Structures are given as structure tokens and as C-alpha cells.
Amino acid sequence: MLFVLIGLAYSPLRKASQNNSSSQNTSSSISNPGQNPFVPQSGNLASSSNKIIGKDIKQAEEDIKTLEENIQKEIEKSKRSPYFGKISMSGITGLGNPDPNREFFNLYNYLKENETLKITGWYLKSEITGYFAFIGKAALLPFPFSKTESDIILQQGDRVYVTKGFSPIGISFRTNKCTGYFEENREFYPGLSLQCPRPIDEELPNFSDVYDRNDECLYQIRRINRCTTVGGEFIRDLPDTVSSFCKTYLTTQINYNTCIARHFSDTDFPGNEYRIYLNKFGPLWRPIHDKITLYDENGLVVDSYNY
């Protein structure tokens, strides 16, 4: 197919050559132009012929340029992944930040309903530096520093945050109804959603047969914000009227693990965000000008981002 296209582009050049030969034969066949006033002078004929040849050559150059562009487009298409158009990359936030945990970008998906796509094994590559990093697995039910990871399989509406640096909990993970607790005493970029169930809205036990003491415990629970545990200072500042049972509940039952146990079966428990960490500290891509390409597991282009 490529040779056919090149042949088509060469045709105008061949035509120009034939026109030049024809014009020379015509010029040489005129023995005495001065005898016939209606016959063009040889100089004018050559000038006209040269213009035609120049026009043909210019057209041929334009055709070749168009052909080269079309060939390049075909080459690029041949390198595209079957998932091209299914995933797109956003711009990089925190580009060049000395803290790699603050440098991240998003992957958005355009999957149809009930369509899934595994991205574990895909990789990102700088087209200038040549450095690359693979997308690994993630924990679907994350516990800090517990390596219970699975392939990342996206569904419609899922969003992926890809961070250059390291996870504050030691693993890549999918968010859920309770992962806001991870924000306590840790920093995530961007921050995690703090939509944990409120402690006061949980099914609570009876803390005391004395109504006032039971109400006092409920009041203390109401003070606790979403996705927040109770520390020793909070307990020390409680009034003496708060029962020991209440204090035990506050310190042992308001946390991530208890939230998981209570809400794992909720229909809205799984989140729609993946937090993926590339675990890279040194340079991956240039801070000023680069092209980052996302490749699938077969090395075909899914998307790219220029800056």
C-alpha cells in the first residue's frame, strides 16, 4: 500500500518531465519562426513551458507532503491501543515539586455501563527522558501496610489518581466509605473524602441505666467529627460523670476497623477512586517540557499528555 501511495505522488513529477521533453521537441521543430507571425517566439514558448513545469513540480511537492502526513497518521494509528479513547490523562498537579507525594495527575475513563478495563501492567513513559513507571496492583479493602492487593479493574465512573511518590499507608488502594480515617495524622494529595458515617449515627449501646449518664455519653459522641478517632487528651478532659463503659467505647469503637466491620455490606461502601503510587523519588519526566505517554500492557498507546 505504501508503494502505491508513493507511486501516486511521483506521477506529477513524471508528468512534469514529459511536458519538458515535449516542449523541447516543439521548440526544435520550428525552423524559422520569423516566417510566420502567428507562431510564438522560441523564448516565449520556453518561458511558458517552464511555468507549467514549475507548477507541476510544486503540485508534486504538495502531494508528497500530504502523502507523508497521511503515512505518519497511519503509522500512529497502527501504534494505538484498542483502548485508545477509553482513558484520558489530565495535566500534572505539583509538577517538579521536590516532594514526589505532591506530584500527581488523574486518569478519567469513558467506559460504557457494565464495561470494565484492567490497567494493572500499563505503564507511563517520558518520551524525552525515556524513564518509565508501571501501574501495579491496589488493595480493594485497604489496611495500612497490609499487602493484600488485586488487579486494578476500572468501571464506568471510576477515577484514578496517579501519584509519583509513595503512599502514606504503604500501598495503592481503592477508597471506600471509611477511608477518610486514613487522613488522621497523614497527608494525602489530594485529600481523601471525609464522608465516614458519623459516630452519633451508629447503632449505639445503652451506656448507663442512669439516663443522665447515658445522655452525657451521647453528648460526648456527638462532639466527635467524621473520620476522627478519640485520643488520650480527649479522654482526660471528660467529666467524671462519664462512665468507664462510655470511655472504653470512645477509644475502641470509633475507628477505621470498626467502621469497616459495620459498613462493609452497605451498597454504597465501595468508593469510585483509586489512589495509585508509582513509588518514584527521582526524575521521571522533565519539569518544563515533555510528552508523557500511557501505554497498555502490549506497548500500544492509550493516551499522551504534552506540556
Both 227 and 171 in one domain: the answer is no
User: 1 falls in which pLDDT band (50, 70, 90)?
Assistant: very low
Give the residue among 261, 288, 242 at the shortest CA–CA distance from 141: 261
Q: How many domains is the chain built from?
A: 3
Q: Are 154 and 117 in contact (CB under 8 A)?
A: yes
Both 168 and 273 in one domain: the answer is yes
Both 67 and 215 in one domain: the answer is no
SS3 content of the chain, % helix, strand, coil (to 5): 35, 20, 45
Structural domain that includes position 208: 199-260
The whole-number average pLDDT for the span 108-136 is 96
Both 164 and 41 in one domain: the answer is no
Give the residue among 63, 115, 125 at the shortest CA–CA distance from 86: 115
188 inside domain: no
Q: If you count DSSP H runs as helices and E runs as strands, how many of each does the chain have, helices first?
A: 6, 11
160 inside domain: yes
All three cell numbers of 177: 466509605
Q: Last residue of a domain, which of 223, 242, 260?
A: 260
189 inside domain: no
Q: Which residues contact 14 (CB under 8 A, 6 or more apart)?
A: none
pTM of the model as a whole = 0.75
Both 105 and 228 in one domain: the answer is no
Assess whether pLDDT exceeds 70 at residue 12.
Answer: no
Q: Last residue of a domain, which of 78, 106, 122?
A: 78
Both 112 and 244 in one domain: the answer is no
**In this predicted structure, what is the pLDDT of residue 197?**
97
Lowest mean pLDDT among 13-22, 142-151, 268-277: 13-22
CATH code, 146: 2.60.40
**In this predicted structure, what is the pLDDT of residue 2?**
43
User: Rounded CA gap, 93 and 284, in Å?
Assistant: 14
| Axis crossing angle, helix 211-222 with helix 244-252, rounded to the nearest 10 | 20
Both 228 and 255 in one domain: the answer is yes
